[in-house]
Amino acid sequence: MTTIVKNASIEFHNSSIDTTLFDFIHEDEMFGTLKLKMKKTNITQQPILLLFTIDKTASMREYASPQSTNTKMDYVIQTFKNILFYLAKQDANISICVQTFNDCVDIIIPNKRIDKENVKEFVNKIDEIDPEGPTDIGFALGSANKIMNEFAETHPFHDIYHIFMTDGYATCGETKNEYLFDIASDRFQNIFIGFGLEHNVHLLKKLSEKKNSDYQFINHMEDTSIIYGEIIHRWLYPSIKNVNIVMENGGVIYDWKTNGWTDNLYEPVIISEIEKIYHIKKQKKNMDPIVAKIYGCLPNEEEKNQILVNEIIELPELYDLEKGVMVTNDLSRYLYRHKTMELLNEAKSDNIENRNDTKKKMKEFFRNMQKYMHEHHLTNDVFMKLLCDDIYVTYQTFQSSNGLMYALARYTSQGRQQTYCNTPVKHVDTDDATNLYSFKPPSMFTPKRKNRNLSFHFVDEIEAAEKVETEKETNPFDLDNYEFTNTDTTCYATESVLDTMSQLSTPF
C-alpha cells in the first residue's frame, strides 16, 4: 500500500438516533463515517490534455448583469487569459485545445503543449473570439468526442479532461436532451458549466449523470476564474485517480450521485490535502469489523494501473474503565449532513409530486437543526452553518425559475466536498428601479410591476420587516428568520485549492 493517505478511520455513531428525523437509518442499522485525509502532493507529472469548449453564440454578447459594463464573453476571455498564463508557468506537461461553437465549431487552439514561449500566441487567439449565431450543442459535443478519442489514440499515456461551457439552450441541430445525453462521452472526465441564469439546467443536469461528469453553475460572472481555478486544481493536483472504495464485511457507503447505498463507490479523483468524509452504515447484529479498501491509481500513473492504495479497518468501541461505560461516539453532525443532502436531492428532482410538502420538510428539518446547534453551542460552527446555508438557499429559490440551478449546484458542492458554493446574486430590477435579490423570503417578496408606486413599495417592506422581527422573537429557529452566511467558499477548502483559485482570479 502507498503512503499518500495521511490518516484514515471508520467510526460508527453510538448515541441515540431520532429515526423519525433521520429516517435513512433503520432501527437495526448503525450510521458511521469513513474519513480519508490525503497528504500534500506535488503537481502531476503525468502528461495531460485540457480541452475547453466555449459557447460563442450571440447571447454571449449580452451584459453580465443590468449594472455591468462587461459582457459575458468579456468575463470568459479574461478568465482564459488568466488560465493560459497560469498553466504556462507550471512545471508540468500540459497540452491545450480550445474549440468555440455556435452553429459550427472552430478549433482556435489545436492540441499543443503550452509554455512561456507560446502563451501570448494562445492569448491572442482567445482575444479574437467574436460571439454570434445560434446554438448547436450536439455538434459541439460530437466535436469534443472526436478530439478526445483521436488524441487518446495517438497519446495513450495522457490524461484527458474536458470543460464544456454554455449559457443557453440548443436552438439548432439536435435539441432534445435525451439525444444530447447519448452524444456526450463518459470515457473522459467532463465538467458541464452553466454560464448565467439562462442556461438549460435540465440538459446539464442530465449530462452530469454520466460517469466521470459533474455540473457547475456560474451565476456571479466575477467568479468565473474562481470556478475554473478549482476545476483545474483538481486535475493538476490529484492524490488518487480512478478511485473505487470497496466495502467489505457487510458495510455499505453512500453514493451522493445516485442518492443510494452501495458496497462499491467510484470517484474520478481525490485531490491533494483534502479530508474526504463518506457516510457508511451496517447492520447492528453484524459483529465483524467493517473494512474499506481504497483502490486507485497514483498521480503519475496511467488510470488503468489501479492498485490497493489503503485498507481501513473498523476499530472496536472504546470502553471507559473509570466510569464503567462505553465511550460515546457522537456523529450527529454527519447525520444532519446526510439529511441535508437527501433534501437537496429531493429538491433537484424533476418529478416532485408535492413541492409544498418538500418545502415543509425542509422547514421542519431546519428548525430541528437550528435547535440542535443552539443546544450544543454550534451556532458559529462553519460545518453546520454550511448545512444551514444549503437548506436556506434551496428553500428560498425552490419554486423560482432558477431553483433547480441552485439546488443542483449546492447538492453537487456538498457531495463532491468542493471549495466553491453558489450564492444568489443581488441585482437591480429595471422595471421598478429597486434592489431585489434573485430570491427573497416569502414575507419579503414583492412582485415586479411596471410603474409601481415606490412609496407604497417601501411601506410594504417596512411592514414585512416588522413582521419578520416579530417572528424572530416568537420562533428564532424558523427558516425565514435565518441570517444567511453569504459566502462562496466552504469548510472543505484546502490552502492549495484557495491558492490556485486566487492565482486564476488575478489578472496576469
Distances (CA, A) of 58 to 28, 61, 117, 180, 197: 58, 6, 33, 21, 16
Query: Which three cell numbers, joined as nine digits, stand for 452?
Result: 409601481
Question: What φ, ψ does residue 326 adopt, rounded to 5°?
Answer: -70, 140
Nearest Cα neighbor of 250 from 218, 291, 194 is 291
Range name among 199-208, 268-277, 348-357 with the lowest pLDDT average = 348-357
Average pLDDT over residues 139-145: 97
CB 244 within 8 A of CB 265: yes
pLDDT of residue 463: 56
Q: What is the pLDDT of residues 380-426, one digit of tens each?
A: 999 999 999 999 999 999 888 899 999 999 999 999 999 999 888 65
Cell matching residue 60: 454571449
Given this model, what pLDDT does residue 19 score? 84
Predicted confidence (pLDDT) at residue 428 exceeds the cutoff of 70: no
Instruction: Kindly calculate the radius of gyration of the chain based on its CA atoms and give it in whole angstroms.
Output: 24
Query: In the numeric block, which cell numbers belong to residue 282?
Result: 451496517
CATH of 5-42+240-324, one of 2.60.40, 3.40.190, 2.40.50, 3.40.50: 2.60.40
**pLDDT greater than 70 at residue 126:** yes
Average pLDDT over residues 271-294: 96
Residue 297 pairs in a beta bridge with: 241
Please say if the pLDDT value at position 296 is more than 90: yes
Cα 79–chain centre separation = 19
Quick one: 446 exposed, middle or buried, by C-beta within 10 A (0-12, 13-18, 19+)? middle
Q: Which residue has the higher pLDDT, 119 or 321?
A: 119
Nearest CA to 4 among 51, 45, 54, 42? 42
Q: What is the mean pLDDT of the chain?
A: 88
Asked if residue 259 lies in contact with residue 268, where contact means CB atoms within 8 angstroms, the answer is no
Residue 142 φ then ψ, to 5°: -65, -40
**Does the pLDDT value for residue 470 go beyond 80?**
no
Is the Cα dihedral 146, 416, 227, 483 positive or negative? positive
Paired with 320 in beta bridges are 325
C-alpha cell of 56?
460563442
Q: Angle at the Cα of 227 (from 223 to 233), degrees rounded to 5?
A: 140
Q: Which of 187-201, 277-291, 292-306, 370-384 is predicted least confidently?
A: 292-306
Distances (CA, A) of 35 to 32, 268, 294, 379, 425: 10, 17, 12, 24, 34
Rounded average pLDDT over 312-338 = 83
Report helix, strand and coil shares of the chain as percent, to nearest 5.
Answer: 35, 25, 40
What is the Cα–Cα distance from 294 to 290, expressed in whole angstroms? 13
Entry field: residues in the chain: 508
Q: What is the pLDDT of residue 328?
A: 81
Question: What DSSP line would sit under 388-433, residue for residue?
Answer: HHHHHHHHHHTTSTTHHHHHHHHHHHHHHT-SB---PPEEE-TTT-
Mean of pLDDT values over 96-115 = 97
Q: What would the CATH number be for the domain defined by 48-236?
A: 3.40.50.410
Distance between CA atoms of 295 and 306, rounded to whole angstroms? Answer: 6
Q: Is the pLDDT of residue 492 over 70?
A: yes
Element (H, E) at 276: strand 275-283
Spatial distance between the Cα atoms of 508 and 13, rounded to a whole number of angstroms: 49
Q: Round to the nearest angstrom and report the end-to-end CA distance of the chain.
A: 41
Stretch(es) of the chain classified as CATH 3.40.50.410: 48-236
Mean pLDDT of 438-463: 37
List where CATH 2.60.40 sits in the chain.
5-42+240-324
Distance, in Å, from the CA atom of 247 to the CA atom of 425, rounded to the nearest integer, reads 41
The single residue listed with the C-alpha cell 454550534 is: 378
- Cα 159 from chain centroid? 22
Of residues 440 and 111, more confidently modeled: 111
- Tell which residue, 261, 259, 274, has the closest CA to residue 341: 259
Q: CA nearest 490: which of 369, 267, 340?
A: 340
Is the pLDDT reported for residue 359 higher than 50? yes
